[in-house]
Amino acid sequence: MDKPAGPTSHDVVAHVRRVCGERSIGHTGTLDPFATGLLVLLLGKGTRVARFLDGLAKTYLATAHLGMRTTTDDLTGEPMGDTWEGPLPGEASLAAALAGFVGTQAQVPPAFSAKKLDGERAYARARRGEAVTLAASDITVHAAELVSVEGPSVTFRVTVSTGTYVRALARDLGERLGVGAHLTALRREAIGPLLVEHAVALDAVAAETPLWPLGAVLSHLPSATVDDAGQVDIGHGRPIPGVQVGPVALFAGDQVIAIADGDGRWLKPTVVLAAR
């Protein structure tokens, strides 16, 4: 799906459920209501492969407003602290600051986030006005580049690991530059090999909208073709010979019938999608 600004990720799932008449639908990677872009929905048996998409890197086009911090680190929050009145950094400083994020680092999640603190969502405490201090988590920024600068608005593209808060990157960008910043726009362009250019707009979804085959969605995994005898073994949960290591998509023809865990000698099925 190419999610528009406004609805929550849950709203998108509910809409597709109504239109397609499929009760079992899940999504990978929540987008905030103001964010747009790629939201992968898994239908029916496809929901069982969600965990094999969780670790994929994600690419975002983001816009930050320099000179003001907010309580949520984005445009939905209240202004916090003083507004910067001095000169703003130039493109060279911005590009250098963004490049400095590339690599693995500890990131403090926003106070208004779904992270749990003593069993309660952090945003629930923050909304009550309580002070929220969250532990930093290790994240990886694979790439970061400056796209454009228009006054205090800075647009940049980042490819990041799962669990990275782009609004926290906008916040930290402002801190590094000494002027403060918050996120004003966010569009997810890719999840691993899946691109938003191939997504369907929410208002274009219909009962006859074609679904992507699981083989395309799982193209980042190594694969193996299973013969007739192997399909019987897979259907009974028995391992078959194979040299791959880690998760492997098992095909019968052009259909994914299972995901197996390979140890270099055997492929042990962990998710069976079709049995013979």
- List, by residue number, the catalytic residues: 32
d(CA 263, CA 267): 7
* Residue among 265, 238, 233 nearest 252 (CA): 233
Q: Which tokens is 122 given?
A: 């952090």
Q: Could you give the C-alpha distances from 90 to 93, 147, 182, 184, in angstroms and in order?
A: 5, 13, 17, 19
Residue with tokens 């193996």: 224
For residue 213, the 8-state DSSP code is P
- 237 near 38, Cβ under 8 Å? no
- 266 near 241, Cβ under 8 Å? yes
β-sheet bridge partners, residue 62: 156, 186
β-sheet bridge partners, residue 121: 116
